[in-house]
Amino acid sequence: MSLEAVLGVVISYLLGSIAFSIVIAKWVKGIDIRQHGSGNAGATNTLRVLGKGPAVLVLLLDAAKGIAAVLIGCWLGGENPEWVAALCGLAAVLGHNWPIWFRFKGGKGIATTIGVMATLAFLPSLLAGVLAILIIALTRYVSVGSLVFAIMTPVFILLFQAGMPSFWAGFVVAALAVIRHRKNIANLMQGTENKLGAKKGVPHGKS
């Protein structure tokens, strides 16, 4: 790997480490969002704690990190732009999940994953996204929809033969999504997972 490609991966990780939910919560209410709601630094918990406006902003900014990381990889990828773009996208997701700026305690990376995968493989990601939205609409479980998106994206990439760099990036981020949602999976099995729009005080997992 060239020096430029390594630099791109490092920049992408540092960019991914900008936890917008933490920044916006501190700016809007002067709080650490990781100490409120589910304790997760992501758009869903921002919705619970701060409301729709900040949540949408966090979602868009976190997705933008993923898009920017892939574009950085394409720019600095040299002779292997697709593989470097995939690595930079993964670095952004890792940065979101384990941000160096915030003591390595971040979110679950779904919004950033959306940005990464939509840039690497738009049509497979779109189909997985539509499926995820339908699941959320039917079940009101954001965690289930998030997992469906992460897991189905690499499946659709294979079906559409969208390229091995995109597939392996999708495979790794799907594995990361499952790891980061392991508490949610346990809550789902126990029937205690929080539903979208549920009133405060209802038992829930860290979505």
Place of tokens 């002067």: 30
- DSSP letter at 34? G
Per-residue pLDDT tens digits for 21-67: 999 999 999 999 999 988 888 898 999 899 999 999 999 999 999 99
Could you tell me how far CA 104 lies from the centroid of its own chain? 15
pLDDT grade for 198, boundaries at 50, 70 and 90: low
Q: What is the pLDDT of residues 92-132, one digit of tens each?
A: 999 999 999 998 999 999 999 999 999 999 999 999 999 99
Q: What is the pLDDT of residues 122-162, one digit of tens each?
A: 999 999 999 999 999 999 999 999 999 999 999 999 999 88
pLDDT of residue 39: 85
The residue length of the chain stands at 207
- Retrieve residue 13's tokens: 């990780």
pTM exceeds 0.85 for this model: yes
Give the integer Cα–Cα distance in Å for 77 and 112: 20
Quickly list DSSP for 142-196. Answer: HHHHHHHHHHHHHHHHHHTT--HHHHHHHHHHHHHHHHHTHHHHHHHHHT-PPPT
Q: Is pLDDT of 199 > 60?
A: no
Rounded CA separation 180/150 (Å) = 12
Q: Is the dihedral of CA 198, 114, 25, 17 positive or negative?
A: positive
- In Å, how far are 25, 35, 120 from 83, measured between CA atoms? 35, 37, 10
Contact (CB, 8 A) for 19 and 41: yes
Half-sphere exposure of 67 (CA within 13 A, CB side): 11
